[in-house]
Structure 1
Amino acid sequence: MARALPRPRSPLSTVRRWYEDELGWPTTGTEPVELLTGLRFDVLEMPADAGRAVLRRMPRTGPVALLRPVRGGKRAEDRPKLLLLIAPGGAEELPEILEWLEWGALAADLTARGAGERMPAPAPPSGGTASGGCGAREAAGWVRPPRPGYEAENRLPSTGFGTGIGDGGGAPDLVRLVSAAATECLRARLVRARNRQSDRAYGDQPLAFSNASRMSAGTRPRSFTL
């Protein structure tokens, strides 16, 4: 009697196994594979040009992924995005942090994915097939890949007592990270406008300056003046 040969392992199942077994990150049971946010981590999302500047300013931020739309376009949401992993709960805190820093007008550029949401699963850094598949809207790849044993929640940017010191890796606290990201989002807008890639063509909101940007320019807000 002929024996059935074992079926070859699917590249997508290899991707799912790496995240679930090596990192302990929950994934969706669908193809393409996606990572569930709000459980082991949240995601801070921004335009790639702003995100690259943030990475230059903060060399230790935790895992970072580059997200590209499968189909190009001229809308703001069709630009490549950088996804910075932050501690769970950070997505819920983002609007309040932006308001506190007076960067509320940048909410369209600086967003987050948290509980009940997901992100595309990049191919493992050891190689393999990316998780993009038929019908996928986004494809992602690691810029700073996670390492087993390093991506625990207390080693990702967060707020609370003791943050900002880092846990062996020197990760910034969430407020510092959001402040830097908001500043770079504004600078990226100005560069795009200067290059005649106006934000109006992408349907973005008007430019706005926060207290932080005015202080860096040497003009202190009245509320900060003694």
Structure 2
Amino acid sequence: MTGSVRTRSTASLPVPLPRSPLHPTDRIRLWYENELGWVMVPGRPGAPPRLAVGLRFDVLDVPLEAGIAALRQLGPGAPVAVRADRMQLLVAAGGAEEVPGLLEWLEWGELPLDLVPIGAGGAMEAPAPPEAPPSSRRGPGTAAGAALWLRPPVPGCEVETSLPTLSALGGGGDAPDLVRVVNTVATHCHRIRLRRACAQPLAFS
């Protein structure tokens, strides 16, 4: 009698529905928000997920060729992402607003370098987490030029301590000097601009 009651009560329990797999965009969002504590920017459906810039980090957006040459010279350091023919180097929050003054001080101010600082209020496309399977590395709305980590952030580490900062502002840890990073990147941006200018055919009137 008792056994039959238990059987009936167990059989009457509702069976939970199987959970649907996470959408690639949700996987990306959870990794950034839960593992790194970074902020995602709300976006329209189907658009690539984006990270808020200016809260935990700023960005130097440069031509890919110049960025690769600069990294060879600068060596290991802060996280770096690539998207199509551009590279995004992460720097300490507040660093973007220092870049124009640094370029002037380093005597790069009058030259068109194609070096774009992105700070508070800006955003960058969120690269897929490095451990994500290949099928999920491109979220909806992305194309062949989707953002990828060349040098990813490491969950569990204090990423901000590795970001380039102005030494005068009291940057701690092993963070490289923002002045050196900006000067190195500007040098390679300038070299690429000169090389491309020399490769252009002369125009005769």
**Structure 2 match to 1:187:** 191
The within-5 A match list for 1:42-121 is: 42-68=58-84, 80-121=85-126
TM superposition score normalised by structure 1? 0.72
Note the aligned Cα RMSD (angstroms): 2.7
User: Structure 1 pair 114/138, CA: closer, same or farther in 2 (3 Å)?
Assistant: farther
1:167 paired to 2:173? yes
* C-alpha distance in structure 1 between counterparts of 2:143 and 2:111, whole Å: 27
How far residue 21 of structure 1 moved from its aligned partner, in angstroms, is: 0.5
**Structure 2 match to 1:130:** 137
**Structure 1 match to 2:20:** 7
Residues 101-144 of structure 1: per-residue CA shift (max 9 Å, x gap): 11013455111111001000001111242355327796211111
**Structure 2 match to 1:17:** 30
How far residue 62 of structure 1 moved from its aligned partner, in angstroms, is: 0.2
Contact preservation (8 Å) 2:81, 2:151 = yes
* C-alpha distance in structure 2 between counterparts of 1:107 and 1:138, whole Å: 25
How far residue 197 of structure 1 moved from its aligned partner, in angstroms, is: 8.4
* C-alpha distance in structure 2 between counterparts of 1:91 and 1:66, whole Å: 18
- Partner letter of residue 167 of structure 1? G
**Which segment drifts farther, 143-152 or 1-10?**
1-10
* C-alpha distance in structure 2 between counterparts of 1:137 and 1:112, whole Å: 24
- Mind listing any 5+ residue stretches in structure 1 that lack a counterpart? 69-79, 201-226
Residues 167-192 of structure 1: per-residue CA shift (max 9 Å, x gap): 24xx4210110000110001111222
**Which segment drifts farther, 127-136 or 91-100?**
127-136
**Structure 2 match to 1:176:** 180
**Structure 1 match to 2:42:** 29
- Partner letter of residue 172 of structure 1? P
User: Structure 1 pair 150/59, CA: closer, same or farther in 2 (3 Å)?
Assistant: farther
Task: Give the alignment partner of residue 158 of structure 1, picking from 162, 165, 170.
Answer: 165
Task: Give the alignment partner of residue 40 of structure 1, picking from 50, 56, 64.
Answer: 56
